[in-house]
Amino acid sequence: METVTATLPALKTVTIDGIAVPIEGERNLLELIRKADIDLPTFCYHSDLSVYGACRLCIVDIAGRGIQGACSTPPEPGMTVRTQTDELRRIRQISIELLLANHDQQCPTCPKSTSCQLQDVARRLGVSQVRFKSVHSPRELDRSSPSLLRDPNKCILCGDCVRFCSEIQGIGAIDFAYRGHDVAVLPAFGHDLAAGECVNCGQCAAVCPTGALTPRPEVDEVWRALHDPKKTVVAQIAPAVRVALGEEFGLPAGTSASGQIVAALKRLGFSAVYDTAFSADLTVIEEANEFLRRKATGGRLPLFTSCCPAWVKFAEQHFPELLPNLSTCKSPQQMLGAVIKDTLPAARGIAPADVVVVSIMPCTAKKFEAKRPEFAKDGRAEVDHVLTTQELARMISEAGLRFSKLKPESYDMPLGFKTGAGVIFGNSGGVSEAVLRYAAEVITGTKVASPDFHAVRGEDGVRLATVTLGDTTLKLAVVHGLKNARALADKARSGECDLDLIEVMACPGGCIGGAGQPVSHDPEARRKRTRGLYDADKNLDLHSSQENPFVTECYAKHLGEIGGKRAHELLHTHYGNRRRIGDETIRLGEGPSEAKLNVRVCVGTNCFLKGSQAVLQGLLREVDENDLHDSVAISASFCFEKCERGPTVELDGKRIQRCQPEQAIAALREQLAAGKAPQP
């Protein structure tokens, strides 16, 4: 009998603090060190972002090479690495002291106080004093955004927000400005955050290690409403909140705590607590019918979902040509707000002005969405206040409630009843799957054996799926991260996109990864929250939106037929081209600002590419050649919100679309001849 001896290949290893650690595809030493259960401090390293190497906290001592950054050094077999030496410790301590010296140290009142990485690292490194003199000059807080609060006094220049906004969202709403001691992170052109291209997704705040960027709080306003005896304050809870709030109180990520959340809200003083998953079921029915109608009649496809307000604003700013492709359905938050405001006053015999709707959301963009003028009726917003998951946790703590010991309570009916389809809305792919569960029954005419559509699930930023239902084949895409959405939108705009339905979520993993969720440095947290929502779906008896009996009742009593006039009034909306730089003009020429005839030419990207520069030059030449400086003032504007019909010229308040140089000059001469301004 022959004996065969198998020789295993030798493992490639790096010796870290005396322990041999195998190299198994790690991109840098920091990943390898973390695999060895050593938590090196760092501010600027995120596995989803490019390596920046700015904070210099993850430095290590490599034998024969000296001190280097672990995040920017690839592992090589045979390396000997030390993560702790006296020199390394002193360098890290000095780095923290230098940061603290120019940092706003009002830590007890900082919204990031309990999750601030700067505080955590300073404590871990034993930094008990700051020996350096501060040269910091206080800067004004940016309160312009309804979703975010920017405090430049707490910025440590780690660049996390800049890279996330650029690399994951593809927007670049904030970036580094100036040089040397004056370097700062700012929105474009030094404007406030709300004046630029920010879409309010808040992911910059989610990765910010300090309190420089945080969700804008509405806790005080909600407390005032709760303490007002004239007000009836009700809450709605988004699906993703139930699997994340418990993290703030020591529960594992992904733990569904719906019952405790309802109990806490009622203890806080809310008159009723509803489930946004109910209106997610409404959204499925309205959106699926809109989709199937377009598919059957040759309507405009692909249909983009409209549940994510950050994506909607992104589309308004960057892809106005595709707005007809967006579903006209409101988001579940706004649908439920509209239904509550429409039905609750009569049901309870109270004045409409005394109903206050508070949404508990995982998302900062929902704060912006609630304040959109499209979502107000008779001067009253459909949703009055939006609290993030973090803010609700703060209120529960402020009230002294022991969350984990609260006895679970039930949602209020009928707007608290939901199916599993509404619950999985919080996951990337959940909207598509919920629509498929509905469409499958409509198309085939029979109830599907299994409601699960695993083809649209997963973690990839772009997922393509082809689903055959009877004789109908549907092509879908599921996208999270706006940079990924831009790539698909570009294809849709150019006609290269052979898809029927595209689901877009701005945040990684969908709503479960929203910027209002608890801050977690556990890379598994998002996965656990995702699993938590799918488990919640399985724990319910009904899994398809059309099975929700209270949704059926809502149509019968309040909404009329699906997609009908009344349903459109309450559940649908419209979107429009949105300027990216508001009210920004540049005066050209020598004319006085009080000139009788004002001419504005759009030089925004779309108009510029369509020839607005030639229009502007022609008008300036006309003014120069005829010495009209005293009677005509010409300005360059950045946007008139009609990009698809550019170049646009505004002459004495009248706008001319698709304007050519000769047309603009002729219009100017006509105005002058009509006596609109004195002629030379």
- DSSP secondary structure string for all residues of 271-312: SEEEEHHHHHHHHHHHHHHHHHHHHHHT-S-SEEP---HHHH
Q: How far is CA 83 from CA 36, 60, 167, 582, in A?
A: 11, 5, 30, 50
Question: Cα(109)–Cα(106) distance, rounded to whole angstroms?
Answer: 6
Which residue is associated with the tokens 């508990």? 360
Contact 10, 20 (CB under 8 A): no
Kindly give, in sequence order, each residue whose CB lies less than 8 Å from that of residue 494, ignoring residues fewer than 6 positions away: none
Residues serving a catalytic function are: 287, 290, 307, 327, 366, 369, 374, 511
- Reading the block at residue 363, the tokens are 């998302």
Question: Cα(354)–Cα(81) distance, rounded to whole angstroms?
Answer: 65
Residue type at 516 in one-letter notation: G
Question: Cα(148)–Cα(391) distance, rounded to whole angstroms?
Answer: 13
Helix axes 258-268, 389-398, angle to 10 degrees: 60
348 HSE (CA, 13 A, CB side): 18
Q: How many CB atoms lie within 10 A of CB 538?
A: 11
Q: How far is CA 264 from CA 234, 271, 277, 536, in A?
A: 13, 12, 19, 20
- Reading the block at residue 335, the tokens are 């649908």
Long-range contacts of 120-127 (CB under 8 A, 24+ apart): 121/41, 121/43, 121/57, 121/96, 122/96, 124/41, 125/41, 125/89, 125/92, 125/93, 125/96, 126/93, 127/93, 127/96, 127/97, 127/100
> Partners of 587 in the beta sheet?
635
Kindly give, in sequence order, each residue whose CB lies less than 8 Å from that of residue 141, ignoring residues fewer than 6 positions away: 149, 150, 151, 152, 153
Contact 158, 55 (CB under 8 A): yes
Contact 45, 26 (CB under 8 A): no
Contact 67, 59 (CB under 8 A): yes
Question: Cα(59)–Cα(81) distance, rounded to whole angstroms?
Answer: 10
Contact 104, 153 (CB under 8 A): yes
Local structure of 636: helix, strand or coil:
strand
End-to-end CA distance of the chain: 113
